[in-house]
């Protein structure tokens, strides 16, 4: 803008000076000079645009979809391997159904026929040569099928959908842990979910080392059960998902990989505190379940009266959930021996829960 103003102000004076000093036309000389300068800037702009295109040639560019409006509520559970997501989803489903909600429980990858077939491939421990981008795209493809066939119809019908993993797992596993660009993984999944996003994300925090120990313990328990069955398989009730008798391809990754996953989830929680409920998963499963239910009060208000005897939400559990949020704000996380989490700290919002304690006192705000 400054150069443009100077050209308007100084142009006539320069043109007059040229005509006074030389036999050349000042106006024509100025026009020629201006054309040369314009051509030079145009050339520079063309080169810059070419460089930008070259830098972005291998970047994923997908037009994001508009978030969809639906009558139901979508809650996802995230965490490292062995954090207890399946158990907490089952307990929350029981609690919400007792409160009168219609609940659909599902998982990822999987949850729909095509998605389940992709799951078997992605988690097959015998598959050793799968590329990171291939893995990310397969999971996104399974997610698209899952959303179309199960999640969106359930939400449109006004149901509460509880899902074991969703987009945040892709960001943590394929992005933070595998080393792919998180922005690229996010863009691919924006297209896959077609506007369906989790309303609330429950992050079960657990030391990755402890999580892997739980995974091995579970696998050994299931192997023992399989040895006592007639077919060598683990039996479960219809409608549930069969536990594995061996580590799957993700669980078999090393401890360093799972520490990166844990850091990735914490980064996501700090960046999107509006949606996250973070709960310490080291406590007894019933205690964790009460903290989860209290943390979700903002999305699913707690009932005024107790509707499930023995499953009341005590004020102490709400306070414990708030303490967990404060630990993240203070960056107090044990990533294992010699490991520290040095990422920038933000506040993880737990929401406000108004509950009655078991002594029948006035409801409190946590």
- Which pLDDT tens digit goes with each residue over 330-360? 444 444 433 444 333 333 334 333 333 333 3
Neighbour count for residue 319 (Cβ, 10 Å): 15
- Which pair of tokens denotes residue 98? 């007792």
Q: Greater confidence, 127 or 235?
A: 127
- How many alpha carbons fall within 13 Å on the CB side of residue 24? 13
Q: How far apart are CA 37 and CA 271, in angstroms?
A: 46
Q: Greater confidence, 7 or 237?
A: 7
- Strand-pair category, 103-107 with 160-164: parallel
Contacts of 3 (CB under 8 A, 6+ apart): none
- For the ranges 89-98, 122-131, 243-252, which has the lowest average pLDDT? 243-252
Q: Say whether pLDDT at 363 is over 60.
A: no
- Which pLDDT tens digit goes with each residue over 17-75? 555 555 555 555 656 566 666 666 667 777 666 665 555 544 444 444 556 678 999 99
Q: How far apart are CA 188 and CA 157, in angstroms?
A: 27
Q: What is the pLDDT of residue 128?
A: 86
Q: What percent of the chain has pLDDT over 90?
A: 50
Q: Greater confidence, 229 or 246?
A: 246
Q: Say whether pLDDT at 215 is over 90.
A: no
The helix, strand and coil proportions of the chain, stated in percent and rounded to the nearest 5, come to 50, 10, 40
Which of 3-7, 8-12, 33-37, 67-71 is the most confident on average?
67-71
- Which pLDDT tens digit goes with each residue over 269-298? 999 999 999 999 999 999 999 999 999 999
Q: Tell me what the mean pLDDT of segment 240-265 comes to.
A: 80
- Which pLDDT tens digit goes with each residue over 298-324? 999 988 654 444 444 455 555 555 555
Q: What is the pLDDT of residue 19?
A: 54
Q: What is the pLDDT of residue 86?
A: 94
Distance between first and last Cα of the chain: 55
- In terms of phi and psi (left: phi > 0; alpha: psi -120 to 50; beta: otherwise), the region of 101 is beta
Taken as a whole, the chain contains a residue count of 366
Q: What is the pLDDT of residue 235?
A: 44
In whole angstroms, how large is the CA radius of gyration of the chain?
29
- Which pair of tokens denotes residue 65? 């979809």
- Which pair of tokens denotes residue 82? 């062995």
Interhelix angle 2-21/26-55, nearest 10 degrees: 150
- Which pLDDT tens digit goes with each residue over 127-174? 889 999 999 999 999 999 999 999 999 999 999 999 999 999 999 999
Report the candidate in 50, 116, 24, 104 with the shortest Cα–Cα distance to residue 72: 104
Q: How far apart are CA 81 and CA 205, in angstroms?
A: 10
Contacts of 259 (CB under 8 A, 6+ apart): 208, 335, 336, 339
Q: Say whether pLDDT at 244 is over 80.
A: no
Q: How far is the CA of 257 from the CAs of 57, 216, 222, 254, in angstroms?
A: 29, 16, 25, 5
């Amino acid at each position: 803008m400054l150069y443009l103003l100077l050209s308007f102000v100084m142009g006539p004076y320069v043109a007059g000076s040229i005509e006074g000093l030389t036999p050349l036309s000042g106006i024509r000389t100025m026009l020629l000079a201006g054309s040369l300068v314009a051509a030079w800037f145009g050339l520079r702009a063309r080169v810059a645009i070419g460089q930008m295109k070259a830098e972005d040639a291998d970047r994923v560019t997908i037009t994001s979809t508009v978030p969809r409006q639906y009558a139901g509520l979508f809650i996802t559970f995230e965490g490292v391997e062995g954090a207890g997501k399946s158990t907490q989803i089952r307990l929350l489903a029981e609690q919400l159904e007792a409160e009168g909600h219609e609940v659909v429980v599902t998982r990822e990858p999987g949850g729909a026929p095509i998605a389940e077939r992709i799951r078997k491939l992605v988690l097959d421990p015998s598959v050793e040569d799968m590329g990171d981008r291939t893995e990310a795209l397969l999971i996104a493809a399974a997610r698209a099928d899952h959303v179309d066939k199960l999640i969106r119809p359930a939400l449109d019908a006004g149901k509460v959908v509880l899902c074991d993993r969703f987009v945040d797992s892709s960001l943590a596993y394929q992005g933070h842990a595998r080393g792919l660009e998180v922005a690229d993984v996010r863009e691919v999944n924006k297209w896959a979910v077609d506007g369906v996003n989790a309303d609330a994300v429950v992050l079960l925090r657990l030391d990755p080392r402890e999580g892997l120990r739980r995974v091995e313990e579970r696998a050994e328990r299931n192997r023992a059960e399989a040895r006592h069955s007639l077919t060598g398989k683990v039996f479960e009730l219809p409608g549930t998902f069969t536990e594995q008798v061996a580590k799957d391809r993700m669980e078999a990754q090393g401890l360093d990989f799972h520490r990166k996953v844990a850091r990735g989830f914490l980064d996501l929680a700090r960046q999107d505190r509006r949606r996250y409920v973070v709960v310490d998963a080291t406590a007894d499963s019933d205690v964790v379940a009460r903290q989860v239910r209290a943390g979700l009060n903002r999305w699913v208000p707690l009932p005024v009266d107790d509707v499930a005897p023995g499953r009341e939400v005590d004020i102490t559990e709400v306070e414990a959930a708030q303490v967990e949020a404060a630990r993240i704000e203070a960056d107090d996380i044990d990533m294992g021996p010699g490991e520290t989490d040095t990422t920038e700290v933000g506040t993880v919002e737990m929401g406000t829960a108004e509950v009655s304690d078991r002594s029948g006192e006035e409801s409190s705000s946590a």
